[in-house]
Amino acid sequence: MNAQTTTEAPITELTPPTLPSSPAPARIPLRRIVAVELRKSFDTRAGRWLLASVGLTAVLTSGAVIAFAPDDDFTYSTFTTTIVFPMSVILPIIAALAVTAEWSQRSGLTTFTVVPDRGRIMLGKAIALVAVALPAAVVAFVVGAGGNVLASSISGTDTVWDQSLGAGPYVLLSLALSLAMGFVCGTLIRNSAGAIVAFFVFSFVIPPLLGLLALTQDWFRDLQPWVDLDFQLAALLKGSFDAEQWSQLAATSGLWLVLPLVVGMWTLVRSEVK
């Protein structure tokens, strides 16, 4: 009986087919984030009304100056500085609502999933808000010029152009810092109602207290320009800062804007989005 020998074929190791690697998704550019945040600020009814109120209040303020101010106050600077005041209230409210939208409207989960870097989202919001301050400053100068001409023609007095175009950067900086107040309040609190209340306390409660302290306490009178941001914002509308005033503006901005913003950003990037 012959023994049969069987030979087994060698087992070859099978390698899985290689799939083509998909390219990593491109990073969303900052300009697109800015465009989206700018559109989000005004695609609601409240946002559109707030934007429209910037121009509306400028016209109404000019009318109030013509109706109630004495003829001696009919100057270009009177109209522009009076128009800037309501703008410095409306624009921070827009900023606070823009920052708190991700938490108040519960869109943060979608936003931070598309762009996980929360710092880039906040930077996009900040740039979009500064882009709003520039046309607001232009509106103040244009409407103020029209009000000045109309007032002089009604009263029969000479038109006084006591404010040059060089004051434009100062007005723009004042509006930008006012915007930053609302931005900081929104970053710290991340609730629309709470941020707006905090802004009103910051703008209309603390400055009068600091002013009263400067009037009654001699030791605080020289210290006020270094700690009162509202004092510096009013001085900006007069223009022509010297070196000491720029230092005072930097000190007050660091105290009331930069430090709270750092704290707010530190808590924002660590907060849970629901």
Q: What would the pLDDT profile of 120-142 be if each residue is shown by its tens digit?
A: 888 888 898 888 888 888 888 89
Q: Flag the least confident range among 113-117, 201-205, 254-258.
A: 113-117
SS3 109: helix
Predicted confidence (pLDDT) at residue 21 exceeds the cutoff of 60: no
Number of Cβ within a 10 Å radius of residue 180: 24
Least confident of 8-17, 202-211, 258-267: 8-17
Kindly report the pTM of this predicted structure.
Answer: 0.83
Give every CB contact of residue 71 below 8 A, 6+ residues apart in sequence. Answer: 155, 157
* Rounded CA separation 125/98 (Å): 7
Least confident of 49-53, 102-106, 205-209: 102-106
pLDDT band at 184 (very low <50, low <70, confident <90, very high): very high
Distance CA 140, CA 87 (A): 9
Could you count the other beta carbons within 10 Å of the beta carbon of residue 217? 11
Q: Is 160 helix (H, G, I), strand (E, B) or coil?
A: strand
240 beta partners = none
- Summarize pLDDT for 219-234 with one digit per residue, the tens: 898 899 999 999 999 8
The pLDDT tens digits of the residues spanning 61-113 come to 999 999 888 888 888 888 998 999 889 998 899 888 888 887 776 666 677 77
